A = this chain, B = another copy of it.
């Protein structure tokens, strides 16, 4: 079961990976098109996988030398090259040369932390978006940049590290009767983008689970820890929204505008993705409003609890102060205090005290303090 308040995690929350900004020191003052990797190195070696398929067959290759891909490109209707790991800029550059990719595009691929965007270069379409993943242990959303370059008959995807988000797509390519095998590269592009957007729903579901956990926790404790966890979640939602918001425009533009490499049929499918993106954005907004209302509940609870504490203190203090005062009066050492000599004096005072106690209790009951 995931820890709800991973204190150490929260404290070091924004240490390494969680910076909003990725450091751009290396690229400042460089001419445009300089190939410098901005972002963390997340794998040791860049892994390249090439998948070629047409209606009849499908082949998957782990590629050592980039040139090997060219052979596949000619043999199959569709070639998909998946590059995982961006720090070996030489490899990226070579791919760029082989497939005629603009240096500005390569620069965008290497600069992770980009805002999602789509750019049409006639020969190919460049698309970048963020793959999001929810880490239940830290309550954090992981952000990874995905770049997709779609040309006629080929697709190249660039990820920061190998992942399993595209496994269902690979399975569908491998199954002989898949619809996917009958279509062109643009359909594969749609399938990949659809997989990323579908994964947003999984991430949102896990966020909703966390919201439910925190909601239950909130009511039970009203502790500073549960507030901090709530606030951390709020920030994750801010980052989530920042990552998906531009997709509204981007996917909308793909489904509307006439991009050279995207056919009419696939435009139609992208309209479906567009609906999903809108639903994702709506849901993020609803989550933000829910988290805000939980925040208000927390504050109200703390206020209310303070009220309870003060009521309790006030009840005890107001009852015992008069009693102690009376006891104090008869503890005075004046020589002439007639009551002290009455044999029933002590009992009378005890009775008076009881009366006072009942009086106060009745008063508090009438004000519904207990």
Contacts and interface: CB of A to CB of B under 8 A. Distances in A.
A14 B212 contact: yes
Interface stretch (A79-87, A166-174, A256-264): A166-174
A3 interface: no
B316 A231 contact: no
A145 to B, nearest CB: 13
A179 interface: yes
Contact of A325 (B306, B324, B341): B324
A306 B299 contact: no
A307 B305 contact: yes
Nearest to A269: B32
Interface string A200-214: 011011001001100
Contact of A231 (B24, B25, B293): B293
A309 B314 contact: yes
A198 B179 CA distance: 43
A345 interface: yes
A23 B205 contact: yes
A21 B290 contact: no
A267 to B, nearest CB: 13
Interface residues of A, number: 116
Interface string A334-350: 11110111111110011
Interface in A320-370: 320-325, 327-337, 339-346, 349-350, 368
Nearest to A166: B29
Contacts of A322: 316, 320
A71 interface: no
Contacts of A205: 21, 23-24
Interface string A23-37: 111011111100000
A235 interface: yes
Interface stretch (A58-66, A136-144, A271-279): A271-279
A228 B293 CA distance: 10
Contact of A117 (B29, B32, B275): B275
A115 B275 contact: yes
A32 B178 CA distance: 11
A224 interface: yes
A315 B199 CA distance: 51
A98 interface: no
Interface in A253-312: 268-269, 272, 275, 278-279, 282-283, 286-287, 289-290, 293, 295-307, 309-312
Contact of A24 (B32, B201, B293, B320): B201
A43 to B, nearest CB: 24
Contact of A334 (B179, B311, B330): B330
A298 B300 CA distance: 9
11 contacts: A21-B208, A21-B283, A238-B286, A307-B309, A316-B318, A317-B321, A320-B325, A327-B328, A334-B346, A336-B344, A336-B345
Shortest beta-carbon contacts, A-B, top 4: A29-B168, A327-B328, A330-B332, A320-B321
